[in-house]
Amino acid sequence: MYLTLSDQAQAGSIPPERLHAKVLASVMGNLAVDFVTVSKDAPGAASVPVNAVVNNLTHDPGSAVMFIAFQLDAGKGEPEVRRYVDARAPALAKHGGKVLLSGLTPRTDGWLFDGFELVQFPAPDTIRTLMGDPDYRTPDIQALSKIFSGSFAMLQVAVS
């Protein structure tokens, strides 16, 4: 699986094993890009390989989707991300959210993150409600979230 960030839309139809999204707004951080594509095959030289922790690219049409890029503390990886995703799942589901993809990536010249998530919500502001929910702010989830450090970016995207 590969992640491609670009300034151009992908031509043609989007097969089920691929997700293509237009960036609607930058919610947090600094990541200047117009389109996000996740696909089974690398569409170009700028594509970054993805090691999927959660892979369910089926989204509900009309829902809000957030692209969240993150950096991890040194030495942290798939086991820690999986524990965080699993611990957060009940609070996310309570707010109608679901993870479409959580994946780890290598850093490159054009990609300074260790991974990203595509998370679906009923509406764009649902993520703010989730982040203020005591079920999301439990000591266990907060302790697990300490794996994240450094740069962070969140974009609202429209999936085609």
Average pLDDT over residues 19-47: 85
Whether pLDDT at 37 is above 80: yes
Tell me, what's the pLDDT at 70?
Answer: 94
Residue 4 CA to residue 20 CA, distance in Å, equals 9
Q: Are 120 and 68 in contact (CB under 8 A)?
A: no
Whether pLDDT at 150 is above 60: yes
pLDDT of 55-80, one tens digit each? 888 778 788 899 999 999 988 889 99
Edge to edge, the sheet with strand 19-28 lists 48-49, 2-6, 35-39, 19-28, 148-159, 64-72, 115-121, 98-104, 51-55
**Length of the chain measured in residues:** 160
The β-bridge relationship of strands 35-39 and 51-55 is unpaired
For 2-159, CATH number? 3.30.70.100
Give me the residue spans of the domains in the chain: 2-159
pTM of the prediction? 0.88
